[in-house]
Structure 1
């Protein structure tokens, strides 16, 4: 079932629980289908179909803010599921009863190929900001086994909100976040020790999560800075920029001049987070 239909069913269930049984908690009934679309059990859709539309002309609740992971990108590796916070704020003259959130990736919310993730909780934890505005906090979990490399990049935040008098508000694009493929960076400088004035070779590799294969593969043709920190100092200085090879490997030569630490540092891209290797100490004699 498409994401929009799923959220419609959920919001309808929330509306009924607000109007009919205020103390009850809505059942979101989330499940994953085999083709990575959000699905909703029939019962949820039936509850939505039976909800009242008599107040359709009334003022609807609106969203004012939605923030994933405190505003920072979401990063996922190849093995572990990663859970991130999602906070959504909405307002209505009667107050806000509940909010149901989700994140999605794709060309359109109505596109059957779009991929979405519902909030983990049956019910978000909500707190009133004031008499008309409420912020609800929930989490969303990204499973690398359910992701493809094409999912990296911009994700939208959507939600359904129900006011205390049963009005339903929906938006499939309140704000956005970025999903990135976890990156790794290594370094090795040698020979160790090395004579002052002699050549020092610094190798390494830049890799990132490949969700298609569940492994880490080289991030190719990327600019990576080679940096040096002299013993007794706390700051790394960029010596040169090296481009990763067709396999993600890095290699360059420098002249050894003083004891210190060498590392590679990658600035990151929209789909891959920044990363710096731990410094490799070289004794210059």
Structure 2
């Protein structure tokens, strides 16, 4: 399964204009051709079908951070990359995908539209032309992941380009990024106030986005840290690690020592983002 987010194609008129440009004028037209292009299409070609020599480097998805999505709300995911070509480029294309075949037609709709077309800035360098490119993928979990949660995890960045002679270059694994289900933690410490040395019970719940239902559900049997911050301090100390129940519930005890806040911290997994609860203050008498 893949998410196609910004595939672009040359129109006939643009092809002809690129091919007939005189050598001296081509350099000035490379970037104009790429940024003027606004049609979208799927080529369904494999990397081994490529005949161009464009090189792609420095691919970065979401500034190197995980893409964490709840059940609603669109997320703008920036993507940047560099391309080099001896002859110059007419256009670039980019999308995120999963699986073993980047030419698969099994897709989920991503950010299709002119706002998702990669925009590239050209620089003349020794031996050819370098392009600093950027685009933004707008991902809507209610649409893109409505078929289930199995797509959470690593995604690959596919990049393709046409040079001015319509030679296509493809790299379907330039870099990788993770798209994860958002998690949330709650906490409640009681009783309050409490006498020093007495038992404090700390409860809470770990939930995460369920894209298939559009709701949040409890996250079972996950390790969560109980932390304490003494009043007046900025440092949190881990007291213990507890596991959530089959419904995501948390419950543990600790001894009252001094005034301060208690919170739960979840580190996250390969499919689910990290979460930290708010602090709950306990007054110790």
- Post-superposition Cα deviations, 1:235-271, rounded to whole Å, max 9, x if no partner, equal 1000010100100010001111110000000111111
Q: Does 1:64 align with 2:61?
A: no
Instruction: Provide TM-score, normalisation by structure 1.
Output: 0.81
Moved more, 193-202 or 12-21: 12-21
1:76–1:182 CA contact under 8 A, matched in 2: yes
Alignment partner of 1:142 out of 139, 143, 164: 139
- Post-superposition Cα deviations, 1:156-202, rounded to whole Å, max 9, x if no partner, equal 11122123454321222211110000111110000111111111000
Q: Which has the higher contact order (CA 8 A, sep 6+)?
A: 2
Q: Secondary structure at the match of 1:149?
A: coil
- Which residue does the alignment assign to 1:231? 231
User: When the two structures are aligned, how many residues end up with a matched partner?
Assistant: 259
Gaps of 5+ in 1: 31-39, 49-55
Inter-partner Cα distance in structure 1 for 2:204 and 2:123: 50
1:103–1:116 CA contact under 8 A, matched in 2: no
Pair 1:167–1:187, CA change in 2 (3 A)? same
Q: Does 1:27 align with 2:24?
A: no
1:196–1:257 CA contact under 8 A, matched in 2: yes
Gaps of 5+ in 2: 22-28
- Which residue does the alignment assign to 1:74? 67
Q: CA RMSD in A?
A: 2.8
Alignment of 1:106-255 (within 5 A): 106-115=99-108, 117=110, 120=113, 121=115, 123-131=117-125, 132-146=129-143, 147=145, 148-255=148-255
Pair 1:177–1:3, CA change in 2 (3 A)? closer
Inter-partner Cα distance in structure 2 for 1:80 and 1:64: 31
Quote the offset at 1:114 in angstroms. 4.8
Instruction: Provide TM-score, normalisation by structure 2.
Output: 0.81
Quote the offset at 1:234 in angstroms. 0.8
- Which residue does the alignment assign to 1:37? none
2:116–2:137 CA contact under 8 A, matched in 1: no
Inter-partner Cα distance in structure 2 for 1:122 and 1:181: 23
- Which residue does the alignment assign to 2:274? 274
Q: Does 1:103 align with 2:96?
A: yes
